A and B are shown apart, each in its own frame.
Chain A
Amino acid sequence: MKKSISRRELLTLLAATGASGAVLNASAALNLIPDTQITSPRIPLADPSRPPRIVVLGSGISGLTAAYELDKAGYEVMVLEAAPRAGGRCMTVRSGDLIDEVGNPQVCEFDDEPHLYFNAGPARIPSTHRNLLNYCKELGVELETFINENKQCYFQDDAMFGGKPVKNTAFTTSARGFMAEIMAKCFDNRQLEDPFDQWEVEALMSAVRAFGDLSEDDLFQGSTRAGYAHGGFLEHGEPKETVAFRELLKSRFLRNALTANEGETGPMLFQPVGGMDNIVKGFTRKLENRIFYNVLVSSVKLVDQGVSIVYEHDGTRYRLEADYCFNCIPTHLMAGIDNNFPADYVEAMRYPRRGEAYKSAFQTAERFWEKDDIYGGISWVNAPIRQIWYPSHGMHRQKGVILSAYDFGGGMHFTRLSQEQRIEAAIRQGEKLHGDYRHQVEKGITIAWHRINHMLGCAARWQSGRRGMTRQEEKLFQTARRPAGGRHYIIGDQVTSHSGWQESAILSAHWAINDMVARQANGTSAMPGTPLAQV
């Protein structure tokens, strides 16, 4: 039998949830729940006469975090990186930089100017990602605001208005107006088990009216929020004609229009001034002489009281023994590296699917979007490019770099195309928004994360379905997070429930360090003086 929940019951429920929320907070570090606490590990200073040896595999954000924190605490840290650069997916592409795609290496041909860059990996920092922001502060990484939603950007969908792009402001004004009118018309106090009193009803209806800009009689008759057809400053303004709500329903963007500025991508968001990789540079400045590039790891083995690594550098193979290993090599690549991990750990490493995210960027001859009142923000296009991002920086300069495609979910559509086809497709799809697009594009660059050397994938995907992990997936996931032999930690956003964010990578490194510290305190990790030996 269906029973409606009274407000009182709801409150009781909420209180109960609040209590369990406290429990969840307590275990947040362990479970890496998106959370607001700064988890900077408290690491007892190492004995300077015999500091523990740490090998970090991979210099992604999690690897850099682990190396930085442990180095600070006096541990002997060595970071082995396969690529000639640090940062993993935290990558900013500027003039002359290489995008090392297997079979399609590209050199960026943007003009050499500080504002002409492309954040090929992460590009936004939510203000709630406290640990990342904390490192920005600590490492002196200057930040500026990132504009995610801009009401002057467009929605374009061939299914609505005959494919004509609609300004976000016209779109959302109409959507909110009609939704508010429906709410006002349909609200029936008698249907509530515990009805509102007169004041409450008035407060609610006043908010609904304001939400949609309704008239006194609760009708939506257009709004100046959508802008003026003409006038509005010196002369009385003539509001723009309201876009037909029924047309909006033909597009799936109604959903996006109402959620783009909510949750994690809601204000405020930041970006480092000059490129996301300033975070990487902040770490590498502190880790001078600790990071070794062009190093290929060929074997990771658990040995008595430690981990033994074999790697190749410049044609020579070396063996290195360490007390602990923090490994942010993508688990799907670890499957190709010799190891002696327990079978369930290997099974877990092999499980996650490789992320397929794809981005491309164009340098344009002019900042043509600014003539259309667009400064930063995102336009949505119902085509494989999905989005166009206008830069949140470099306002009023001659040129700019825009993100010309971002498929955050799929991406294989573009990945399969040749470089020329990728560029042409992005131009053709972008032309739906900006008529002069083709003539504006000067240089193009693409990043198909599925094919990038030493990575072969974007954010790891543990879930096969949409509704969270299955029990089996949960089991594999938890197995991958436990240190193999108490010595080898898989780290990175890849072993969090919120992959694809730098905050997750940092939290994962913190968690692993805290776990190691706890193990040391428990006396489960005596330090053997294993010498290094050449193979």
Chain B
Amino acid sequence: MNSLSKYLRVFSYTSVLALLVQSPTLPAQQFAELDTTYQSLGNKVCATCHGAYGRGNPVVGAPSLAGLEPWYLRSQLRKFRAGWRGAQRDYIPAYEMRAAVSNISNAEIELLVREITSWPDPEPEPSVTGDAESGQLLFAGCAACHGTAGTGNESLQAPALAGRDDWYLYRQLNLFKSGYRGGHPDDISGSQMRASARVLENDQFIMDVLAYINALENL
């Protein structure tokens, strides 16, 4: 029996038929014919690290992208491209992100922003254990820019905090504190955050404020 017809007999539903039509089986090793510039943007470009539709992957240190504000995505992609973020070799995830977007064009950034903002907002999984009550007091310092509900303020270049992955916020707060993030002289908003992050003197403070941010989602 012809192997293809045997195959179609069972899988002859719209999806697979469409797949077969769209993608006649390529002989292996034709990848050389691919253009090495971006084949397609969005899920294809981001998914390896950031997971399917930008849901995030803590194992490789890649935060969720879905749900980020378009202006923030745009500004961070530009900061990575300019080397304001990810220039240090000893924080691998950011360094890899910088490598990934170092040659990206403005038009590609816009396309990415458009695609990412169309993805469903993933439900973050809280992972920190802190004292939300004590965190609430500390959050007063954050609220000035990020809003009392942690929903962000574009005019101050302060992104939403509520709904983000706490493991990622934890890492970023520490990167701000160490100057890895916000340390570039041209990065005005980053340097503001860098100064603000110093208020969170120790790990417990960070955990507490993150516990409060986690709780904000449900308020």
Contact = CB atoms under 8 A, between A and B. Distances in A.
30 contacts: A78-B16, A82-B48, A98-B31, A102-B96, A102-B100, A277-B29, A281-B28, A288-B25, A292-B19, A292-B25, A293-B23, A294-B23, A298-B43, A313-B19, A313-B22, A316-B22, A318-B15, A332-B59, A332-B60, A333-B60, A335-B51, A335-B59, A336-B52, A336-B56, A336-B59, A336-B60, A350-B58, A453-B48, A456-B48, A534-B15
B196 to A, nearest CB: 30
B219 interface: no
A78 B11 contact: yes
B13 to A, nearest CB: 4
B47 A315 contact: no
Interface stretch (A83-91, A156-164, A202-210, A357-365): A83-91
Contacts of A31: none
Interface in A75-101: 76, 78, 82-87, 94, 96-98, 100
Interface stretch (B32-40, B105-113, B150-158, B180-188): B32-40
A243 B30 CA distance: 51
A198 interface: no
A268 interface: no
A454 interface: yes
Interface residues of B, number: 51
Contacts of B195: none
Nearest to B26: A293
Nearest to B88: A416
Q: Is the interface of B mostly helix, strand, loop or mixed?
A: helix
A336 B51 contact: yes
Nearest to A352: B59
Interface in A210-233: none
Contacts of B32: 94, 96-98, 107
Contact of B52 (A78, A96, A298, A319): A298
Contacts of A517: none
Nearest to B4: A289
Interface in B183-201: none
Nearest to A92: B29
Given A333-B57, A336-B47, A354-B60, A97 B29 contact: yes
B34 A319 contact: no
A66 interface: no
B40 A315 contact: yes
A102 B43 contact: no
B202 interface: no
Interface string B90-104: 001001101111100
Contact of B7 (A76, A97, A318): A76
A532 B101 CA distance: 37
A520 to B, nearest CB: 18
Contacts of A338: 52, 55
Contacts of A333: 48, 57, 60
